[in-house]
Amino acid sequence: MTQITIQTPDDWHLHFRDGDILTETVAATARCFSRAIVMPNLVPPVTNAAMLTEYKSRILAAKPAQSNFQPLMTLFLTNSTTVEDIAAAKQAGAVACKLYPAGATTNSDAAVSALDAMFPIFEAMAEQGLLLLIHGEVTRHEIDIFDREKAFIDEHMTKIVARLPQLKIVFEHITTADAAQFVAEGPDNLAATITPQHLMLNRNDLLVGGVKPHNYCLPVLKRSTHQQALRDAVKTGSKKFFLGTDSAPHEKHMKESACGCAGCYSAWSALELYTQVFEELDALDKLEGFASHHGADFYGLPRNEGTVTLVKEEWQIPAEIILPNGNPIVPFYAGQTVNWKLKAE
């Protein structure tokens, strides 16, 4: 097969950041995705309806002219979030709320530290029709970083899913065979997003031959058996798994530093890389469901009109992209050759 056309896809999990960088990040996503679930972990985080509305306005102002791209906004949950905050966020157009365990990832220190206290908020979300998006890792120091997703399932996710059958829950950017099995065997109100990096890489790609900071993300890359389990999951064509890039830009000097900021900026190549993975799996017939149907259906939103076409053509992801402030960012899979390319309309 040398060409594939699919219904216009969406990205159900990404980070745009804020400020001048929006002109880069929004354009990168809008080139092929019609909608995107926008993460709220800014500085300060998007914790109320007013902040949500203002952030959406900044995103819309940054999108390319003539683009019909639509950001789908989320609220950042804290232990101070109230039922009134949930109602106001829904009124402001939020489609979901994001649960970060405090300290789990970038800009999450203000997030939830007492998860059991959040159940009244989860119930209010279900009443309002807002989805719960979960970064599923425990953050206790004594738990090995490679085991934190499994520990979260055992300690929290099983409880949340069992107690809230009326709440739609997305287990974000899953990384383990444990998570894939938990979602596959779970009820219909449970689904998961999967990133390109967790389908393409494992922890050898992070650690062998020296630490590769541009492959560092959270949740961290796992062993190859977990990578294979994720590949097996998307190959099934199950409606429970859908595209969420977790594209997360950081300037080069922030990745190559003692900070070692977590995140892979994949927006400029993600759809092409997913296509490459599905071709490797001999499952190109499953790509449209994963990229264009399952997420919209789970969120209860209409599927997009229109199509995008990818052609079998080699191209090289640039080594660096220069941001509006003049600083470089290293994109995911920088300098590597990709076998599929989005066809210009």
Is 141 annotated to bind a ligand? Reply is no
Instruction: Give the Cα separation of 316 and 337 in Å (integer).
Output: 4
Is 135 annotated to bind a ligand? Reply is yes
- Tell me the percentage of the chain whose pLDDT exceeds 70: 100
Domain residues for 301?
3-342
pLDDT of residue 273: 98
CATH number (domain holding residue 270): 3.20.20.140
Is 17 annotated to bind a ligand? Reply is yes
Q: Which residues of the chain have pLDDT under 70?
A: 107
Which one, of 29, 1, 3, lies nearest residue 341 by Cα?
3
pLDDT of residue 263: 97
The upper half-sphere exposure of residue 85, i.e. CA atoms within 13 Å in the direction of its Cβ, equals 19
Question: Quick one: how far is CA 212 from the chain centroid?
Answer: 21
Strands 337-342 and 307-316: antiparallel
Q: Are 291 and 303 in contact (CB under 8 A)?
A: no
Q: How many domains does the chain have?
A: 1
Is 13 annotated to bind a ligand? Reply is yes
CB-CB neighbours of 166 under 10 Å = 11
pLDDT of residue 270: 97
CB-CB neighbours of 212 under 10 Å = 15
Amino acid in position 7: Q
pLDDT of residue 300: 98
What is the set of active-site residues? 246
Which one, of 236, 233, 232, 241, lies nearest residue 297 by Cα?
241
Largest Cα span, the chain = 53
CB-CB neighbours of 215 under 10 Å = 20
Is 312 annotated to bind a ligand? Reply is no
Instruction: Name beta bridge partners: 243.
Output: 194
Q: Are 30 and 67 in contact (CB under 8 A)?
A: yes
Is 41 annotated to bind a ligand? Reply is yes
Strands 131-134 and 169-171: parallel
Angle between helices 224-235 and 270-280 (to 10 degrees): 90
pLDDT of residue 177: 98
In the chain, which ranges are continuous DSSP H helix?
22-30, 49-62, 83-91, 119-128, 148-152, 158-163, 177-184, 196-200, 204-207, 224-235, 252-255, 270-280, 287-288, 294-299
